[in-house]
Amino acid sequence: MTLLTMQDVEKIADLARLELSEAEKEMYLGQLTAVLEYADRLNELDLDGVPPTAHAISQQNVMRDDVIEPSLPTAAALQNSAWHTDDQFAIQTVL
């Protein structure tokens, strides 16, 4: 298995939208490496041809009729937002 590097940690943190201090990066580098080394135990298994299990009990194509039903009122949907205006969630500029 590829060993985790500090660059990996920084890349993962950025993908996950996490801002980490230098001390946190060091801590996670060590801890994630330990967990991934533990996970290398799976290499003992011959998994060729074994189908994956995504859910314990699989149900496919769970559909409902395409009927409009009552949903949360706008005021209730917005009530927990720190910043909203004109019945919409507001955000800072994207760029």
Q: Tell me the closest approach of the beta carbon of residue 90 to another protein, in angstroms.
A: 8
x/- track of binding to another protein for residues 16-55 (CB under 8 A): xxxxx---x--xx--xx-xxx-xxxxx-xx-x--xxxxxx
Among candidate residues 1, 68, 69, 77, the one with its CA nearest the CA of residue 33: 1
How is residue 33 written in tokens?
């490496």
Task: State the Cα–Cα distance between residues 90 and 58, nearest whole angstrom.
Answer: 38
Question: Backbone dihedral region of 48: left (phi > 0), alpha (psi from -120 to 50 degrees) or beta?
Answer: beta
57, 67, 68, 86: which one contacts another protein (CB under 8 A)? 57
- Footprint of another protein (CB under 8 A): 1-2, 4, 8-9, 11-13, 15-20, 24, 27-28, 31-32, 34-36, 38-42, 44-45, 47, 50-57, 59, 62, 64, 72, 76-77, 79-83, 89, 91-95
